[in-house]
Amino acid sequence: MFKPDFVAAAPAPAPVPLTPAPLMPAPPPGAAADWTVPERWDKFTAEDHRVWDLLFARQQERLAGRAVRDFEDGLDVLRLGHGGIPRLSELNARLEPRTGWTVVAVPGLVPDEIFFDHLSKRRFPAGNFIRSAAQLDYLEEPDIFHDVFGHVPMLAQPRVADFMQKLGEAGLRAIGTGALHRLARLYWYTVEFGLAREDGALKIYGAGLASSFGECGFSLDSAEPGRPPFDLRQVLRTRYKSDAFQRCYFVIESFEQLLDTFAGSDLPALYQAVESEGDLDPAEAGEPVQA
């Protein structure tokens, strides 16, 4: 699954055509060419289902009043809280008629090209495993709880579903021009760690926040991180860390704003323009916005 490591990336060289295919690792044993694997839901143990139920219950309580309505509605319509790890076939039977998206099982992190290709075809890759009870608060590699609980409720909303597909298409183009590190920041600060203003209050919509017991509270309550208004150019310049709470969360006013900004932007031109401006440390990205 997509997990870029641009923790402290230096400014990238001018985009040049790449030939990523020779660098593509082979799928692991048992995986198809697109890295999908059979779900094999029956191999999840009673302990695995117990961990899902524990994670779900405590995260739903933690998110009460803190997540956007679209996330809460997605949990309900997809029936993710009906006990145990969801069967992807049953989940897809509810999701696909709404937005055309399906969830596919993968063994873990997949190459960027594979990840964005799945998104461009309205398929979301979900890790076909779950953390142990000893790892409730942190797991480096995204598991099925992060992927399904964190991401999939928003995919039930047409506006977000459209944005995610377009992001997949943009990711494939960015890989081809050497600009993935820029596009990765847009993904990171929206899909994973985005905040939105709803009814005058800050709310969570990013999956990395929705699925994190600790960071969902930190993102809204702490005085430490910045919470600047969403600005695409600034997002493309702002570095991030993948192994710590974020120091900056960009705030959208609405999903229409995000979609309109994304659709109306010449991303290749922006990638080129920000190269001469230099990267920003997250602490420099903007003043905090009060919750």
CB within 8 A of 111, min separation 6: which ones?
A: 24, 25, 35
User: Do residues 258 and 201 touch, judged by C-beta distance below 8 A?
Assistant: no
User: Do residues 196 and 253 touch, judged by C-beta distance below 8 A?
Assistant: yes
- Given the structure tokens 């969403």, which residue do they identify? 230
Amino acid residing at 196: A
CB within 8 A of 151, min separation 6: which ones?
A: 124, 126, 191, 207
**Per annotation, catalytic residue among 39, 192, 215, 275:** 192
In the chain, beta strands by DSSP E: 102-106, 123-127, 195-198, 201-204, 251-252
49 belongs to the catalytic site: no
82 belongs to the catalytic site: no
> What is the C-alpha separation between 40 and 201, in angstroms, rounded?
41
Question: Among 209, 94, 189, 68, which Cα is nearest to 149's?
Answer: 209
**Per annotation, catalytic residue among 118, 181, 211, 275:** 211
Phi, psi of 199 (to 5 degrees): 55, 35
Residue 95 CA neighbour count, 13 Å, CB half = 28
Copy the structure tokens of residue 207: 């999956």
**Per annotation, catalytic residue among 151, 181, 215, 275:** 151
**Per annotation, catalytic residue among 118, 120, 146, 212:** 146
- Given the structure tokens 């309580």, which residue do they identify? 61
Catalytic sites, residue numbers: 146, 151, 192, 211
